[in-house]
Amino acid sequence: MTADVYEFTAKSLDGKDIELSQYKGDVLLIVNTASQCGFTGQYAGLEQLHKDFAAKGLKVLGFPCNQFGAQEPGGSSEIGAFCQKNYGVDFQMFEKIDVNGKDAHPLYQYLTSNAPGVLGTENIKWNFTKFLVGRDGKVFKRYAPQVEPKDMTKDIEQLLAK
């Protein structure tokens, strides 16, 4: 049984392995993203949270996913270019992954089992589902796709103060 998110590794958009243990002691906001979704505009809010709280220990981690309406069809270079050009994304983006099913990334298997959604369901329902992780590496809260990044500010500030 995995104890916290620091035990996982994921590939960045440029194909490099990133050990999440490098974020030990930080508050993490982990989001499955997509470039052609009704919620894509949330990239701007996520980037704003990154700008506002990075110096205090918040790290935003974006995980593109094409499992919902095929709304992330591009490869890593297209995803990176889109995020930078349209939203000035400066937070860490990773390679496209699955978040549900037998091929779900192990990080997402951990997140969904530790923070089930409505009615206890583990599956991610749509793009821009967000997980807030405390400095201890444990899931603090799961947020539905329609929750705007700015609406998480109070929870983020609470975790950063710990």
Give yes or no for a contact between 149 and 33, defined as CB atoms under 8 angstroms apart.
no
| From 37, 60, 107, 111, the catalytic residue | 37
Neighbouring-strand partners of residue 51: none
Give yes or no for a contact between 99 and 63, defined as CB atoms under 8 angstroms apart.
yes
Burial 41-69 (b: 16+ CB within 10 A, else e): ebbebbbbbbeebeeebbbbbbbbbbbbe
Backbone angles phi, psi at 143, to 5 degrees: -120, 140
User: Among this protein's residues, is 65 annotated catalytic?
Assistant: no
Name the token pair of 98.
């699955």
Give yes or no for a contact between 40 and 73, defined as CB atoms under 8 angstroms apart.
no
* C-alpha closest to that of 30 among 14, 10, 2: 10
The residues carrying an active-site annotation are 37
